[in-house]
Amino acid sequence: MQKLTGMDSMFISLESPTNLFHVGAIAVMDPSTAPAGSPPPHEALRQVVENRLHLVPPFRKKLVKVPGGFDHPRWVDEPSPDLESHIRRGALPSPGGENELAQFAADLMSHPLEKDKPLWEIHVVEGLEGGLVAGIAKIHHSAIDGISGAGVTGHLMDLTPEVRDLSSENAEADRHVAAERTPSALSLLRDAAVSSIRRTIPTAHTLGKLSLAALRIRNQNRVPDTLTPPGPFDSPRTRLAAPVGRQRAIGMAQIDRSEVEEVRKKTGATFNDVVLAISGGALRRYFEESGELPERPLVGFVPVAPPGAGSEHATNHLSGMLVSLASDVSDPLVQLMAVSESARSAKRQEQVKADSASLDCGLIIGGL
């Protein structure tokens, strides 16, 4: 049994029919490259997941809530999830193109995951143009972040058409042991009471460190010629700042990584700077077409993985920084340089926070 951190628990508690906290990914594959005699795509995926289930902890995490909501929920191991309910088969009217695939994925993302079983689904979608097949994965953010998500992808996908056998000799024994560890309501309440006592002093200590971090950031921002990162309310209001409904929309675009690398090398910007500048440029064009381009630049909230991210104690160990997207700049090169400088300033501020406070978002949220 593992208690969710405050950050992971927040993704559960804030979820509503219009405020969903799962993330997703779409992969398009060519089944004609599979070895001869391979099963249909959905069955092939089921076999791969079953073979590697011991390597993918997020697929075996089942959420258990503490009675009365007295503490953060717990993860318990679900040793043998019903893969038939997690790996589903779908199809587009053939030949399905990119728009049809995006609409299919958007509909899937518009519905919440069922909370009484491990929080993930993979839909194998057939009927794509050219005989291609798509895999649409959906998993709750409380169970995965960018780092662990890359690990899941690495375990489930191979670099060659041949499927590696990664089954565990002890998998069956592990499943029986894990099945005996599902906590009772009484044990959950007892653990919650002990946890609340242990959290009091560390929380006060962390709040003191936060005050020190805030003071150092304030002093740094007063240094002449120091660019101050955007504030939480610096971004202009646009039509995008509207209540979120139930329906989701997905758009797909393809960017050649080699082109991004070439821009990065010639300008001294980072890979992320280039991606942010592309996003800012796309938003600028979107608002220009409707005659609604704000005079002030839009601001992006960029997740940051602090030292210690990817540890086994927390799924989401992250912070975030605000970066100007320089959407008020028409020249792409000048815009990129402005984004890069804003990102550098935000990173310096994030480093001050990390050095001063060693932030543990789970501790802070859980203790307040």
**118-164 residue pLDDT tens:** 999 999 999 999 999 999 999 999 998 877 888 899 999 988 888 88
Distances (CA, A) of 2 to 63, 140, 184: 10, 16, 14
pLDDT, tens digit, 9 for 90 and up, residues 50-67: 999 999 999 999 998 888
**Of residues 315, 307, 321, the one with CA closest to residue 354:** 307
Q: Are 277 and 335 in contact (CB under 8 A)?
A: yes
Domains and CATH numbers, the chain: 2-183 (3.30.559.10), 190-237+248-367 (no CATH)
The residues, any chain, with a CB within 8 Å of residue 165's CB and separated by 6 or more, are: 51
Run of H or E residues at 127: strand 120-128
For residue 32, the model assigns a pLDDT of 92
User: How far apart (Å, rounded) are the C-alpha atoms in residues 106 and 76?
Assistant: 30
- 186 vs 260, residue with greater confidence: 260
Percentage, residues of the chain above pLDDT 70: 76
Weakest-pLDDT range from 52-56, 107-111, 230-234, 322-326: 230-234
pLDDT at 364 over 50: no
The pairing of strands 120-128 and 61-64 is: unpaired
Buried b (16+ CB within 10 A) or exposed e, 261-300: eebbeeeebeeebbbbbbebbebbeebeeeeebeeebbbb
Chain-centre distance for alpha carbon 95: 31
Answering whether pTM is above 0.85, one says no
Q: Are 131 and 108 in contact (CB under 8 A)?
A: no
286-293 average pLDDT score: 95
